[in-house]
Structure 1
Amino acid sequence: MFRSWSVRISLFAVLLLVLGPLLAVVGLVPGQQALLVFASAALVGLAGIVAGIVSAVRRKVAPGMVAVALGTLALLAVLTPAFAGGGKPPINDISTDLQDVPVFTHARTLPENAGRELGYPEEFKSVVRMYYTDLKSLKLAEPPDAVFARAVELARTQPGWTVTHVDAQGHTLEGFAETRIFRFRDDFVVRVRPEEGGGSRVDMRSKSRVGRGDLGANAARIHTFLQALAASRR
């Protein structure tokens, strides 16, 4: 069975599926390179499928079907996440306030952000308005001090989040969220301001450090945090 070249090709595809995330987790290669290794499993898997079909046609049915099955597994493992984020716009910087976008201040001082543009792209604003119509500022009846204290506490308990700066006077906090598999880091800033007429208004911005599209990850992060903050009211 394993002497069949078609099975070997598909097994190599499966190996790439495991190797890509593993390289990122142990820190041997950056996330982008690890993702390329993972994504290459789709091409190798497709080759395995073709090779398996050829083997089956040549009456090597058992190894051919194994190769097709393994190749299909590799192909789906790579393509499924991509299709799950289908329809999301190719932008990687999302904000609830597009008129007065929360500003990254501490993030600019981090070595890993040296040379990166952290201003908000003007062309992203119309895209956010079109695709993320439900993404809005969170308005709460509590005063800013109380809301900000809860926001800091909540941010520090989020899985994969690291709070890097807290400005109690300015009611802003900054940090980054690290993905579990490829260890990509996205910067975020949360801002609390007094709401006109009383209460507080919470805005959040989340930006990926690499890539242009984010498959909706930044918007999802904002939604999840603001919903949790609203639900955590004592």
Structure 2
Amino acid sequence: MKVLVSIISLIAFLLVALSGPLYKYGVVELGTAFAGFKFGVYTGIAALVLFALQVILKRKTITIGSAVIAVVFSAIAIIVPISMMSKAKDVPPIHDISTDLVNPPSFVAIAPLRADAPNPVEYAGIEATEQQREAYPELKTLTYSQSQPMLVKATEQAINNLGWELVNTDADTGIIEATDTTAWFGFKDDVVVRVTDNGSERLVDIRSKSRVGGSDLGKNAARIHALMDELDVVLNK
């Protein structure tokens, strides 16, 4: 039974751990990858049940190594998907976040790159706006005293510091576009920053949008916060 428990717990772990890379490199479709999550949870639970039976019926066959494998691998297979589902319940099911909800920055150079993406390049609309206002009221247009060219350069530097791919910069219009690729699943989420003059101050708006998925699990809002923080770091050097 010791070997059986170890094998099942390892399978549970691999179902969850490999779902992202297999999708990222085009081996499986997204639906199949998410199915791996579901079956990983079931398999992890089965492994823990078998381990409990082993403890009750064949305690002498248990070793520290086999116990660690069974508990750790099964726990990871169960906790990771459940934590993601819990996160999905805590955030609105939207994937398009902007600091300007009335006139969000538009994707220009990135638009052709999203031509085949399930989520269209256009702004998500009034429903997403209302949900964002409730979930992320702190995300608003930023104001700076620095010049537009300085802010454009600082934004480029912040994007590079965060490890995103800088797609295009239009200094004349103050538009900077970039793509952030997530490590595990390889999801590509796009970011556009708009720097505009407003008398004695400059306005900076940031928009982040996922190419796939109905809910972003709060990732786009977190990405905007990360860029805001990194921009402040760059400007204050």
Normalization by structure 1: what TM-score? 0.85
- Matched to 1:92, the amino acid is H
Partner of 1:130: 134
Maintained 8 Å contact 1:163/1:174:
yes
Give the superposed CA RMSD.
2.6
**Correspondence 1:107 to 2:110:** yes
Secondary structure class of the residue paired with 1:133: coil
Q: Among residues 198, 212, 215, which one is paired with 1:213 in the alignment?
A: 215
Deviation at 1:55, TM superposition (A): 3.6
1:114 and 1:221 mapped to 2: Cα distance? Answer: 20
- Matched to 2:220, the amino acid is N
1:55 and 1:43 mapped to 2: Cα distance? Answer: 18
**Correspondence 1:51 to 2:43:** no
Q: Among residues 200, 205, 214, which one is paired with 1:198 in the alignment?
A: 200
1:77 and 1:115 mapped to 2: Cα distance? Answer: 25
Secondary structure class of the residue paired with 1:94: strand
Partner of 1:145: 149
**Correspondence 1:20 to 2:24:** no
Deviation at 1:116, TM superposition (A): 4.5
**Correspondence 1:11 to 2:10:** yes
Partner of 2:94: 91
- Matched to 1:226, the amino acid is M
Maintained 8 Å contact 2:118/2:212:
no
Secondary structure class of the residue paired with 1:201: strand
Partner of 1:182: 185
Deviation at 1:127, TM superposition (A): 0.6
Unaligned runs of 5+ in 1: none
Deviation at 1:126, TM superposition (A): 0.5
Can you list the C-alpha shifts for 1:97-147, whole angstroms capped at 9, x where unaligned?
A: 001011112222126546752111221000110010111111101122221
Maintained 8 Å contact 1:206/1:219:
yes
1:94 and 1:156 mapped to 2: Cα distance? Answer: 21
- Matched to 2:47, the amino acid is G
Partner of 1:154: 158
Partner of 1:223: 225
| Aligned CA distance change for structure 1 residues 185 and 39 (closer, same or farther; 3 Å) | farther
**Paired-residue identity, %:** 31
Maintained 8 Å contact 1:31/1:183:
no
1:225 and 1:175 mapped to 2: Cα distance? Answer: 11
Maintained 8 Å contact 1:142/1:200:
yes
- Matched to 1:224, the amino acid is A
- Matched to 1:9, the amino acid is I
Secondary structure class of the residue paired with 1:212: coil
| Aligned CA distance change for structure 1 residues 63 and 209 (closer, same or farther; 3 Å) | farther
| Aligned CA distance change for structure 1 residues 208 and 99 (closer, same or farther; 3 Å) | same
Deviation at 1:202, TM superposition (A): 0.4
Secondary structure class of the residue paired with 1:146: helix
1:133 and 1:79 mapped to 2: Cα distance? Answer: 27
Of 32-41 and 219-228, deviating more is 32-41
Unaligned runs of 5+ in 2: none
